[in-house]
Amino acid sequence: MAYLDLKDVSKSFGGVAAVKDFNLEIEKGSLVSFLGPSGCGKTTTLRMIAGFEQLDSGTIRLDDADITTVQPNRRDIGMVFQAYALFPNMTVRENIAFGLEMKKTPKKVSEKRVNQVLDMVRLQDTAKRFPHQLSGGQQQRIALARALAVQPRVLLLDEPLSALDAEVRLVLRGEIRRIQSELAITTVYVTHDQEEALSISDKVVVMNKGIIEQVGSPEQIYRAPQTRFVATFIGTANQFHGKVSGKDSIDCSNVRLFTEPLKGFMDGQSVVVLVRPENIQVQAEQPGAGRWNAIPGIVETITFHGAVTRLGVNASGQRVVADITVANNKPVSLNQKVWLQFPPNVCQVMAGEE
């Protein structure tokens, strides 16, 4: 039995469906991310869990009790907002103590608890300051401490890092994961940043247009996308359109691609083959015959990304991107003729539109 269980949850705003038949089970102590473009329904779902939006239909159960219609302040669910939402009239200590005060916690216990969570977010010396005296990153740490102080059953984070600088974002996301693991608190994390979702989650829920596209571990989502949306939304993927011809090959307009033995596809069916840029090797010479795919092309763009260099290659009209590392490859120049090579097992085949 899952700890947090969403069953057939639907919600629409003014006739437009925001979330459709959402079913998800979240295990106790895990960190689950809702990932998707803006307007995909991820924040709406989170707000329904928090109790800020009413469900049109469906149920939400927490720890085996139906909380669908329970008031937000009686759910015992903590929340961290994108805009921090610290109370401007209170000091850091007062902000964190607010929830404990609402719970009528004895003063001594509350004080100890405030110090504990301040330690946890490593901001002990800010207790007497007001929110406006803190940086964005510090404010968000305090918001996290405030949410954790009351020891909620579930922690919800709504794009908590979106308003911060890239550097702070990176540090804080590590902190969030560390604290979450330490406390083993069941957490739902909403983000549109795939790197963020993949790096900190136990489980990623990819959403689009109000429905779940795929649920899986970060590795599964990245390596084995089940829909074209997931494949193209997560990371970069080259798409080759073609038709199935034979049990392990696809006929594309100008090349024939070899894949792993195909299952569930009919001969002649339209398909899309997805290949990640990092799985493509770039060779200057034409390779010998074999089961590897080899496509000739002309280098059109070279973009330096630090650890890798991304090449844009024109392969007889089709644009293909490939990532090369400096260590493994000879330098490549613009307009150079190259051969793109990749093994059959990196080709992800999906049904294409007719």
Q: Point out which residues bind other proteins (CB under 8 A).
A: 50-52, 71-74, 76-79, 81, 83, 85-91, 94, 97-99, 101-103, 107, 110, 143, 146-147, 150, 152, 156
43 vs 348, beta carbon nearer other proteins: 43
β-strands 65-66, 16-26 pairing = unpaired
CB of 22 to other proteins, least distance (A): 21
CB of 1 to other proteins, least distance (A): 25
- The answer to whether 146 and 96 are in contact (CB under 8 A) is yes
152 vs 277, beta carbon nearer other proteins: 152
72 vs 235, beta carbon nearer other proteins: 72
- The answer to whether 328 and 249 are in contact (CB under 8 A) is no
β-strands 154-158, 77-80 pairing = parallel
114 vs 197, beta carbon nearer other proteins: 114
* CA-wise closest residue to 119 among 87, 96, 99, 89: 96
CB of 77 to other proteins, least distance (A): 7
CB of 126 to other proteins, least distance (A): 16
- The answer to whether 272 and 237 are in contact (CB under 8 A) is no
- The answer to whether 316 and 259 are in contact (CB under 8 A) is no
55 vs 150, beta carbon nearer other proteins: 150
Q: Count how many residues are written for the chain.
A: 354
CB of 78 to other proteins, least distance (A): 6
CB of 120 to other proteins, least distance (A): 17
188 vs 320, beta carbon nearer other proteins: 188
91 vs 199, beta carbon nearer other proteins: 91
CB atoms near residue 102 (< 10 Å): 10
- What tokens appear for 199 in the block? 């790096």
* CA-wise closest residue to 251 among 264, 237, 240, 266: 240
Q: Which phi-psi region, left, alpha or beta, contains residue 190 (left: φ > 0; alpha: ψ -120 to 50)?
A: beta
Give the C-alpha separation, 290 to 151, whole Å.
60
CB of 92 to other proteins, least distance (A): 12
Give the C-alpha separation, 260 to 11, whole Å.
41
